[in-house]
Structure 1
Amino acid sequence: MSPEGETQMNRYRRLTLRAAGLVVLSAAGCTGETQDAGPLLPIEIGRGDFCHVCGMTILEYPGPKGQVHELRRERPLLFCSTSDLFAYLLQPETAARVREIHVQDMGGRDWQEPGPGPQGFVDAQDAWYVAGHSRMGAMGPTLASFSAETSAQTFAEEYGGRLLRFPEIDLDVLRSLRGATHPPRRHG
């Protein structure tokens, strides 16, 4: 092949590769996947929404709820309890997909019906948790979540338990919840 023909062939290859790259990039933009830019806000949980882990209808059960925004997912995964949320988060394959995690701030919320609205959700990594308390969540014992340490401490004084931060919650903590049975505390 002549030098002119070789140059023409290289130009053709470059143009073909560029065109193929543009097709791939434009197709990726048409998939409906989020572009993974900026913070994501919690959404309102609907009456027909189900827990990603156990499949239970979320709003039919007491205690704090959770949400996880994952990369390349438009809608967050929803959880009926903080226990189910952490059971999901602690799976080895989950960490690489997670962008944002939110839990309900139970300070000032009704434990039996914490509500569906996006307001009152806080960044799970900034929250305070109470483990080992006497209140039951959707799946039995659960982690109570709060935006403020004082609210978590007040809850622990009334219902028992110990305060934890996000990095302290591991599979051992979740196992200890499953083994916990608490008699109801009397208030008076």
Structure 2
Amino acid sequence: MRNRRQFITAATTVNLLSIAGCAQNEGVGRQAPDPVDLSGEKTDFQGGMVIGDHGGPNGQIFYEETEPKPRQGAGVEGNSPDNLAWFHTLVYGLFPYHFEMRNSGAQAAGIYVTDYSIVDWELSSDTMIMPAPTSPETFADATELIYVVDSDARGGMGSALLPFSNSNDAARFISEYNGRTINYDEIDRTLISGIRR
């Protein structure tokens, strides 16, 4: 096992909380609620799988004036704050779900994903699966992050988008595990379909 991050400094944690508290709706400018804890057997809105059990980045989306409905997900109802949907994968869950919600007129008040710049993570050479942390402080505003795509590392369901708040961390990751970086605005249905293939 190779440990890529030895510790999380207090300054980084304070910075993350600042970013999370100021997360904005996609261009509208309203303050978003803070990310929530996704532990406790919460299940994915898109696929019904338990959050944190499968590896790779997790995500959560707060919608304005729209209550998302789970397609699958025993244990979701009654445990979710109003207007919040959560996911155990970005490629197979969060982004496809969000594209559909947006097409139906829903607006995001805040989108949060795992930030691997602030997570203590390891990659095993035999599985190459990134961890799937669930605590609120491991999430950051998805619209502000850099994403590594086409790397050798994987999420719980295969190829993954891996978010970083620090561009140097993303560059170091690519130097060791290959891939390229993209911004949030470059993530669309075509990109997601290509990753899933």
Alignment correspondent of 1:167: 185
Give the number of aligned pairs. Answer: 143
* CA gap 1:177/1:121 in 2 versus in 1, 3 angstroms: same
Q: Which runs of 5+ in 2 are unaligned?
A: 1-29, 68-81, 123-129
Moved more, 119-128 or 85-94: 85-94
Alignment correspondent of 1:78: 86
Question: How far is 1:93 from its partner?
Answer: 2.3
* CA gap 1:97/1:69 in 2 versus in 1, 3 angstroms: same
Question: How far is 1:109 from its partner?
Answer: 3.1
Question: How far is 1:122 from its partner?
Answer: 0.7
The 8 Å contact of residues 89 and 95 in structure 1, kept in 2 or not, is answered as no
Among candidates 53, 56, 79, match of residue 49 of structure 2? 56
Alignment correspondent of 1:87: 96
Question: How far is 1:148 from its partner?
Answer: 1.4
Identity in percent: 27
Question: How far is 1:94 from its partner?
Answer: 5.2
Which structure has the higher relative contact order (CA within 8 Å, separation 6+)? 2
**Aligned runs of 1:135-174 on 2, under 5 Å?**
135-174=153-192
TM-score (norm. length: structure 2)? 0.66
> Is the partner of 2:42 in helix, strand or coil?
coil
The 8 Å contact of residues 149 and 182 in structure 2, kept in 1 or not, is answered as yes
For residues 53-106 of structure 1, what are the alpha-carbon distances to aligned partners after superposition, in whole Å with 9 as ceiling and x for unaligned? 111111111111100001235252111012121112222425633111001101
The 8 Å contact of residues 54 and 88 in structure 2, kept in 1 or not, is answered as yes
CA distance in 2, matches of 1:124, 1:94: 21
Q: Of the two, which has the highest radius of gyration?
A: 1
For residues 12-45 of structure 1, what are the alpha-carbon distances to aligned partners after superposition, in whole Å with 9 as ceiling and x for unaligned? xxxxxxxxxxxxxxxxxxxxxxxxx742110001
Q: Which runs of 5+ in 1 are unaligned?
A: 1-36, 180-188
What is the root-mean-square deviation of aligned Cα atoms in Å? 1.8
> Is the partner of 2:113 in helix, strand or coil?
strand
CA distance in 1, matches of 2:195, 2:35: 26
For residues 96-130 of structure 1, what are the alpha-carbon distances to aligned partners after superposition, in whole Å with 9 as ceiling and x for unaligned? 33111001101243264332210021100001001
* CA gap 1:50/1:132 in 2 versus in 1, 3 angstroms: same
**Aligned runs of 1:30-41 on 2, under 5 Å?**
38-41=31-34
The 8 Å contact of residues 88 and 94 in structure 1, kept in 2 or not, is answered as no
Report the residue type matching 1:62 in the other structure. G
Structure showing the higher helix proportion among its residues: 1
